[in-house]
Structure 1
Amino acid sequence: MERKHFLKSIAMVTFAPALLLAACKETGKQPAAQEAQQTFTCPMHPQVVQNKPGTCPICGMDLVPFDKNNKDATLHLGDNQMALGNITTMVAGTGTLSNFRQLNGRLVTDPEKTAVISSRVPGRVEVLYVKETGVKVSKGQPLYKIYSEQLATLQQEYLLAVAQVKQFPDDARFQQIEKAARQKLTLYDQSDAQIQQLVQAQKVNPYVTYPATVSGMVSELSVTEGQYVAEGGAIMRLEGYNQLWVEADVYPAEAAAVQPGQSVKVLVAGYEHEPQQMTIQFINPVLQSGSQLMQIRGAIANPDNRWQPGLQANILLPVKSRGDVLTLPVDAVIRDARGTHVWIEKKKGEFEPRRVQTGMENFDAVEITEGLAAGEKVVVTGAYLLYSEFMLKKGADPMASMKH
């Protein structure tokens, strides 16, 4: 019995160091395994971090792996990645920046380009050559034919006066009568050629065709075929759209910033990428009925009639201007709850986030007051893609470790 106890003691003494060494090795391996463990995060919510794949509890997106020990604040992109992400840069510089106030406006027909076609003689409209609105007509194009008994009477009087002059060529009184009868026909829009044809034919023609006196679009028809019209009665209205008025509403308190002759930008709906320059021509001193708004007006060219009256337009009224300020395009600046930052290209393919402070801005550019120096190369397109790429690779918001 004592022999067995002695043998057990010898065995424990012999194997104890080996067991202790193995235990230490296992203990030493455990931290290394923990360090090599993969970490996952949400691309949209970098605060979500876990040690296994899954979905984001906030937005439901699949979690992506990232290296949580990578503290480098820069991103490295290859030429292909930059081309696919449309990453472009510009050198920051100083210039003049103007701030704008946006006024709501609309395009309307320019009355100076509007003409009313009226009947020069009383009578019945026999033929309308243009029978619907929206039709484009050219100057000299026949518009309508009218039957006029009064015109026939005047033609007969003129033929009689011409016959009297032929019979008594030396009588000044008959010459004056002929001249007066001819003048009446001229007032009824009879041309010299038509009067000459009347004399040659020796036959009255109560029908007269009237052409368009201007070019334009038919916006209104006032008569139909067979209808009687009085002398001066409206036949149709023609509108020219090669130039349009721009009317905008402004509050009386804002009217002090507007002056006749002032140059402003106009953005037509659907053509915001083609701003038009306009000079303010008129400021209505009277408030619009039922409102507390005044109205300003100017005119813009309308090439190829591509804009129609009634389209919405915005007028950008400059209210403040500063010179020699550091500016960037609006898309180059990223804003979130943590602040404002831009991306700087340190060298080819290496990008770094930078916190900045902004000042005055308009629709196109923003002033940088702190955090950026003239001459630095700034990302102007694709900045948000760099923001997303940073969160994917680093698993953190770039604002968290940003340089000030």
Structure 2
Amino acid sequence: MTKLLPKKPLQTRWRRWLLLLMAGLLLGAAACQQAKPDPENTAESAAYYTCPMHPQIHADAPGDCPICHMHLVAVQPAVTQKKPAAASVVYTCPMHPQVREKQPGSCPICGMDLVKTSSRPAISQLPDTDLATNDLILTAQQLALGNIQVQTLGSGPAATAGTLQTEIPAPQAVLTGTVTANARRTESISSRVAGRVEKLYVRQTGQLLRRGAPLFAVYSEELQTLQREYLLALAQDLQVAEPTYRHFAEATAQKLRLLGVSGAQLRQLAQSGKPSPLVTYYSPRTGTVQTLDVVQGQYVAEGSPLLTLTDLSSVWVEAQLYPAEANRLPLGQTVAVQVAGQANPVRGKVVFLSPELSGGSQLTLARIEVPNPAGRLQPGAQANVLVNSLPAALATRPEASVAAANEPTLRVPPAAIIHNGAVSYVWKQTGERQFRRVRVRLGEGTGAAVPVLDGLQAGDAVVTTGAYLLESEFTLRQGADDDHMSGMAM
């Protein structure tokens, strides 16, 4: 008969199962550690590292952005791209990419520390790049962060998706000006007599006053004396048949009128028979209080300025212009004025051209009178005077019409132009996220648009916002000494 072995205690079996479970967990952790990707292999697979906020930063290894200290992210190369040849280390300034040095140091322009660059592939080694044109290709992230916007010249094809397409406005000269009060409708109110301002009915500037509204009440010894003399002369005239006292009363009344006492106040004085301790002065016209130089209870001398009233139903716009442009604004010409904060322009008439130059600016002054019945145009507001390209006196001449017809129609805003000495460039969009620097020849422009005589044609999409960012990115990729460019044919 087989002898049965005694069963092992339950505690021993639980301990064995627990050991087996711990061994399984340790083996799984070891397998995960073996399957973890090698950071060195990941670093080797990245083309370069860049900052999401400053795409001009390129580094060979992970790290922090020298500008904002964000972690650099890896940019993976295309599958078909070959490994670029090793480039020499170059140090440049984040704010002035034209500075390129072979060793670390400080920027000679702004003093910032130079950062290492040029370890990324050259632009000619990037995929989908035309070696004949050296176009600049941006990533979608760079395009969004740089806020690249384009405008289409003429009636060409629509701009590429992802950029803002707007039509360049009609050409016209723009003069910068300021809305001012019409001096012909401005009146200064001063004190006629020496005295104390007992009551002040106007307490703030900008207050609209109607004609006949009370301004202030003053106590004056001189007014008190003249009132008593006037009442005494009237009383003596009633007792004496001769007109002597009547003439004296008329002369005293005339003095009171010259001191600002109205005829109604004189009649009220004669009816009451008692001099008034306070004499109230009233507004001589309807207007807005521009200045207030007195407070209640203040003692004022004769001739002291108290306040200024201006009728803002008509205002002036004073614009600055060069003497050579004065023929565009002959006296009496009607022009359009666009005031800041107003949706639609208003019409005004040129009423004055200054014969003098203002200081050392070599600018002269033009004054345009603009009606303002609703009072929406406020003095001090900025305004632009829109002037036609040809003056009204020359617009009817046949030779002027021929010259206007031959004038170039392609114009770009000044923000789209990059000047490099005597040479000018613009950035033209040649494809999706692809841009080319084009050399152009410009004509005489204005603050709104500059005519392009050569280098562009109708339908070209020109970068208007972010052109200098493209120029900085191109300088970083090409090098400051590479100033020769294909695609700049005249």
Q: Say whether the fold is shared (TM-score over 0.5).
A: yes
Counterpart position of 2:451? 367
Within 5 A, what are the aligned runs for 1:239-388?
239-240=309-310, 242=312, 243-244=315-316, 246=318, 258-262=329-333, 279-283=349-353, 297-299=367-369, 305=378, 307=380, 322=404, 323=407, 325-337=409-421, 339-388=423-472
Deviation at 1:247, TM superposition (A): 7.8
Matches for 1:29-44 after TM superposition, within 5 Å: 36-42=85-91, 44=96
Question: Which AA in structure 1 matches 2:150?
Answer: T
AA paired with 2:290? M
Residue of structure 1 in register with 2:197 after alignment? 127
C-alpha distance in 2 between matches for 1:155 and 1:325? 81
Cα offsets for 1:318-352 (capped at 9, x unmatched): 77685551011111122224832222222322222
User: Residues 338 and 399 of structure 1 are in contact (CA less than 8 Å); yes or no, is this contact kept in structure 2?
Assistant: no
The aligned runs of 1:45-194 (5 Å cut-off) are 48=100, 54=104, 61-64=114-117, 65-68=119-122, 69-70=124-125, 72=129, 73-93=134-154, 97-98=171-172, 110-117=182-189, 125-127=195-197, 129=199, 139=209, 140-147=213-220, 148=223, 149-155=225-231, 187=257, 189-190=261-262, 192=264
Name the residue aligned to 2:308: 238
Partner Cα distance (1:62, 1:227) in 2: 69
Q: Secondary structure at the match of 1:356?
A: strand
- Give distance in 2, aligned partners of 1:132 and 1:142: 6
1:234 is displaced (CA, Å) by 6.4
SS in 2 for 1:63: strand
Gaps of 5+ in 2: 1-82, 155-167, 392-403
Distance in 2, Cα, partners of 1:77 & 1:155: 94
2:278 pairs with 188, 194, 207, which one?
A: 207
Q: Classify 1:235/1:385 alpha carbon distance in 2 versus 1 (closer, same or farther; 3 Å).
A: closer
Q: Who is 1:170 aligned against?
A: none
- 1: distance between equivalents of 2:141 and 2:183? 57
CA shift in 2, pair 1:337/1:198, >3 Å: closer
Distance across 2 between alignment mates of 1:325 and 1:359: 11
Deviations 1:151-186 (A, max 9, x none): 33434666898x99xxxxxxxx9xx99xx89x9799
- The AA in structure 2 aligned to 1:259 is P
Distance 2:309 2:349 in 1: 22
Q: 1:372 Cα shift?
A: 1.1
Aligned length: 337
Cα 1:257–1:338, aligned 2, differ >3 Å: closer, same or farther? closer
Instruction: Identify which of structures 1 and 2 has the higher relative contact order when contacts are C-alpha pairs closer than 8 Å and 6+ apart.
Output: 1
What is the RMSD of the two structures over their aligned residues, measured on CA atoms? 5.5
Larger strand fraction of residues:
1
Equivalent residue letter for 1:331: A
Describe the superposition over 1:358-393 as per-residue Cα deviations: whole angstroms up to 9, x where unpaired.
222222221112221111211110011112222334
For the 8 Å contact 1:151–1:206, the answer to whether it is kept is no
TM-score, structure 2 as length reference: 0.51
Q: Which residue of 2 aligns with 1:12?
A: none
Give the aligned partner of residue 392 of structure 1.
Answer: 476
Report the alpha carbon displacement of residue 402 of structure 1 after superposing the two structures with TM. 3.2
Q: 1:116 to 1:75 in 2, by over 3 A?
A: closer
Give me the whole-angstrom Cα distance separating, in 2, the residues matched to 1:349 and 1:210. Answer: 73
After superposition, the Cα gap between the structure-2 partners of 1:217 and 1:80, relative to the gap in structure 1 and judged at 3 Å, is: same
SS of structure 2 residue aligned to 1:361: coil
**% identity of equivalent residues:** 23
User: Runs of 5+ in structure 1 lacking a partner?
Assistant: 1-33, 165-172
Provide the secondary structure at the position in 2 that maps to 1:325: coil
What's the TM-score, normalizing by structure 1?
A: 0.60
